[in-house]
Structures are given as C-alpha cells and as structure tokens.
Chains A and B, each alone.
Chain A
Amino acid sequence: MVCRVKPANASHVFRALADPTRRAIFEELTRQGEQTVHALTRYAGVSQPAVSKHLTVLKRAKLVRHRREGRETHYRAQADALAPMVDWLNLYGAFWRDRFDRLEELLERMDS
C-alpha cells in the first residue's frame, strides 16, 4: 500500500529538502547546472558557512555531487536521487484514490 518504498530512503531525501534554503539551493542547481559555493552563496543570501552546511546535508542525501578545482568547489544536482520521493508520492496518490473509492461506497451504505 504505502510502503513498498523503504521509509528510510525517502526520509533522507525529504528531510534534506525540508529546509526552504536547501530546497532553493537544490532547485538553483537543477536550473543552472554546476555552480561554485561562491555563486550559491550569492544566490542564497546567507553566509558561506551556512551554505556549506546545507550542501553537506544535500550531499549526504546524495542530492548533489561535488568536485574540487583549485580553490573552488563545484556542486551539481543529482536529480536521480529524487526517485524515492517520487515513488513515495505516487504510492500515496494510489493510496488516497483507493480510500476515496471506499469512502464513496461507505456513503452509499450510510442512512443519512
């Protein structure tokens, strides 16, 4: 029903994206492609240490990958990592549609 996806997998992704700033950083990376930490800091409007912290959380959830070039670290989005989240949403979509059908049947059976 709602659980063919292992909750822990989806949970990492959801939690990483639960923060609005992290969501914004991730979206920016999906829109613009690879970005340096400096560029992301300018975009996000928070301090560089804060951005680095957010990137670490995104990295742990495998939502971004990084590479070093000289003094700069470049990040890029890994949209594939969203798959558990998409599966989860699809499963819940099917779950609720099924419940709506059952609700409809119940309403037919009820007196008033």
Chain B
Amino acid sequence: MSNPAETPRSLVIERVFPHPPEKLWRALTEGPLLAQWMMNNDFQPVVGRKFQFRADPMPNWNGVVDCEVLIVDPLQRLSYNWGVGDADSGLQWVVLWTLTPADGGTHVRMEQSGFRPDQQAAYQGANYGWQKFIGNLEQVLGGGAI
C-alpha cells in the first residue's frame, strides 16, 4: 500500500540565522521574548505544560491557539501541539522546532504537521503519513495549484 519512492515532505520553513543556538533557544522558549515575534503567551519549557498563544480575535478565529509542550531538548528540539478552534470542529497540529549549529550561526527548521487527536501515541507514524500525503498533494492537484 505504501510507495517508498515517494518523497516525504510537509509544511517546513527553514532559515539560517547569524546567531548562536543559545540565543535562538532563548527566543523560542522565554515567554516575553517569544511574545515579541510570535504571539502573547504563557509558555514555559516544561513537557506536559498546557499554554496558549493569544492574538487579536478575527472572523473565523477567536485568536487563541491551545498548546501543550511535547518535547524540550535544550538547544536542539522544541515541540508543542497547536490547536485552533473547538475540540469538535477545530484543527490539531504539531509544531516541531529543530536547531542545528551552522557555519556562522544556527539552522532553524520549523515543521508543522497534522495528526488525529486520538492518535497521539502513534504520532510518529501519523506524522510520516502526513508528510507523505502533503508531498503528494501537488501531484494530486496536477501540480502548480499549491
């Protein structure tokens, strides 16, 4: 049923910043700093901690993102759930930040992937499936549309 020749991809944004990983980690994990570039929040880098990002409400969105910290791997990886909307009709995502020392700075990779709320235990598998599916979207739509 699976085709290993298909390249896994997902919603990934990457950039090299001319700053050390320590500085990136602070910007990603210290609430007041995080608020300056992401959104207001009550984030704390503790696995299992539930927190919210809050922006101004707008049509179709109350401005709240419900999150839970999944991974805190200092200077390397940070991951949290990303929930928008209510439990029934809302959307659930996982956001994963990966920092890698790079020539003259830090390579930052943000990956946002979807998963089924009742499948958290199988998250790795579901995640792979999503990447593959999103990668295939382009083909499904005949290319160019995405």
**Contacts of A106 on B, CB cut-off 8 Å?**
27, 33, 36-37
Q: How far is the CA of A104 from the CA of B85 in the complex (A)?
A: 29
Number of residues in A with C-beta < 8 Å to the partner?
45
* Smallest beta-carbon distance B6→chain A, Å: 9
The answer to whether B133 and A27 have CB atoms under 8 Å apart is yes
Residue of A14, A88, A93 contacting most chain B CB atoms (<10 Å)? A14
The answer to whether B59 and A3 have CB atoms under 8 Å apart is yes
The answer to whether A110 and B13 have CB atoms under 8 Å apart is no
Interface check A50, CB cutoff 8 A = no
Nearest A residue to B37 by beta-carbon distance? A102
Q: How far is the CA of A3 from the CA of B84 in the complex (A)?
A: 10
Interface check A69, CB cutoff 8 A = no
Residue of B27, B108, B133, B136 contacting most chain A CB atoms (<10 Å)? B133
B residues with a Cβ closer than 8 A to A are 1-2, 11, 13, 15, 17, 19, 22-24, 26-27, 33, 36-38, 55, 58-61, 84-85, 89-91, 108, 110, 112, 114-116, 119, 125-126, 129, 133-134, 136-137, 140-142, 145-146
A residues with a Cβ closer than 8 A to B are 1-8, 10-11, 14-15, 17-20, 23-24, 27, 30, 43-45, 77, 79, 82, 85-86, 88-90, 92-93, 96-97, 99-100, 102-107, 110, 112
